[in-house]
Structure 1
Amino acid sequence: MTDHLAKLKKGSESFEIVINPEEAMAFRQGKGELGQALVFEKIFSDAKKGLEASESRLEAVFNTSDPLEVATQILQHGDIQVSSEYRQKIRDQKRKQIINWIHRHSIDPRQNTPHPVTRIEAALEEAKVRIDENKDAESQVEKIVDQLKVVLAIRITKKSLAVTLPAAHAAKCFQLVRQYGKVLKEAWDENGNWTGTVEIPGGLEPEFYEKVNAATHGQNNIEVIQ
């Protein structure tokens, strides 16, 4: 029950709350609700011993005895402590997210093709990349890609494509096109044909061609703008 704590030191005193770790991390990042982050709406001086901090000490230290206000300060400024098993679980999740991001957004500049997931996984091991479970996956990508460049030819890139879908497939397939990237401009002509300029992650280019060709039975036109 007390494997997951958030602690805040004030002088020689420690103030603790028992937390749900995922919700606590989300709250700290401005994405979650305080009530979901707390297991108990109580402030402890020693949670493992079940010792609660007195209202008088809370008032003296935090200028309030409201446990929710104090808990907010602890979550925002304190040290979030979780079990080693949970920390490894989050690290594995972040690793998968980072690998997927790199696979989608990068290419091998020598061949202008995406890196397979297995190659990225091997490069992470070879470069001894450390995943920080306390940071968002995407916020770590730039630094990690720089580390990978020591062992892997890699470039983050985007592709702008001019796409034309015939009327027979346009109504259904232009939504598929939107799923792959950002539509910069689009138009429908009087015959129901759809044309658009789409910016997609560079690593998704082969998959994009494959999916659009399958959905339109090859009845489309895609040209690389840049």
Structure 2
Amino acid sequence: MKSLEESVIARLKISNHNFEILVDLEKALQYKEGKIKDIKEVLIVEEIFKDAKKGERVSSDLLKKVFQTNDIYKIADKIIREGDIQITTEYRKKLVEQKKKQIIEHIRRIAIDPRTNLPFTYQRLEEMLESVGFHIDPFKPVEVQINDLLKQLRKKYPIKVEMVKVKVIIPYKYSKSINILKRKYKLLKEEWTENWIGVFEIPAGIKSEFYSDIGKFTNGEAMTEEVSYDNI
């Protein structure tokens, strides 16, 4: 647990009333993203303030009126999810850089350059992002930002998002490796005969990685075949 001096303020304004809590910055951000489930890990002080710097608390009557509860944890949850978390400029830059890396890696997994039918390099995508001036929101999930980014990129660059279906036949003796593949890649269907047969849907950008994993986990004994939707 961080000390009071290391805490930051999370604030929510409702009907001209300020509701503030003192939180651990990193844990508050992780809580907002769903990586931490217990609000108690986030709070530095279990109080709701109208002015945290002055130590002025909100009355129980006002909390009840605005939130329909006096439960500190439920109110703190709402403040973190719907309010603003105070962060330094330096820390915000760090978050933006982290999110940028996640976005670039995500695009590398789902998109290819149609001129070469190969995935984009990290450096190339970084240059493309900078050239279109895409604003990265450090607090929005990657999936939420990808569609807008792809629209901007397509105005300037050829970029193709393609999914492929791959039928995989794995000998029974390698059955332990199947769960690893199912956790990493999207499985559409499976069945057992004398072997395991599964159909995966994967982004074209990671085909090489997928085939490499299949070969590694089965010592090259698996059989693969790209199939159409009609053949699934």
Taking structure 1 as the reference length, what is the TM-score of the superposition?
Answer: 0.81
1:185 counterpart residue number: 189
- The number of residues matched between the two structures is 223
1:201 counterpart residue number: 203
The DSSP-based 3-state class of the residue aligned with 1:140 is helix
Query: 1:153 and 2:158 equivalent?
Result: yes
2:24 counterpart residue number: 20
2:98 counterpart residue number: 93
1:218 counterpart residue number: 220
Q: What is the deviation of 1:173?
A: 4.1
Contact 2:168/2:223, CA 8 A, preserved across alignment: yes
Q: Which amino acid aligns with 2:223?
A: N
The DSSP-based 3-state class of the residue aligned with 1:209 is helix
- Runs of 5+ unmatched residues, structure 1: none
1:47 counterpart residue number: 52
- CA displacement, residues 107-146 of structure 1 (integer Å, 9 cap, x when unaligned): 1222222112222112111111111012111211111111
- CA displacement, residues 42-80 of structure 1 (integer Å, 9 cap, x when unaligned): 122322233334456546665665544543443344333
2:38 counterpart residue number: 33
Q: Structure 2 residue aligned with 1:136, among 137, 141, 144?
A: 141
- CA displacement, residues 128-179 of structure 1 (integer Å, 9 cap, x when unaligned): 1111012111211111111222333212221101222345x53344345424
Higher mean C-alpha deviation, range 118-127 or range 10-19: 10-19
Change (3 A) 1:38 1:163: same
Tell me, in whole angstroms, the C-alpha distance in 2 between the residues paired with 1:222 and 1:10. Answer: 58
Change (3 A) 1:95 1:58: same
Change (3 A) 1:39 1:188: same
Change (3 A) 1:171 1:4: same
Tell me, in whole angstroms, the C-alpha distance in 1 between the residues paired with 2:187 and 2:68. Answer: 52
Query: 1:109 and 2:114 equivalent?
Result: yes
Q: What is the deviation of 1:98?
A: 1.1
Q: Which amino acid aligns with 1:121?
A: E
1:5 counterpart residue number: 9
Q: What is the deviation of 1:9?
A: 2.9
Change (3 A) 1:100 1:43: same
Contact 1:162/1:224, CA 8 A, preserved across alignment: yes
Q: CA RMSD in A?
A: 2.9
The DSSP-based 3-state class of the residue aligned with 1:162 is strand
Query: 1:79 and 2:84 equivalent?
Result: yes
Contact 1:104/1:201, CA 8 A, preserved across alignment: yes
Higher mean C-alpha deviation, range 92-101 or range 209-218: 209-218
The DSSP-based 3-state class of the residue aligned with 2:221 is coil
Identity of aligned residues (%): 37
Q: Structure 1 residue aligned with 2:168, among 163, 169, 188?
A: 163
Change (3 A) 1:62 1:2: farther
Change (3 A) 1:188 1:38: same
Q: What is the deviation of 1:5?
A: 1.4
Q: Structure 2 residue aligned with 1:123, among 125, 128, 150?
A: 128
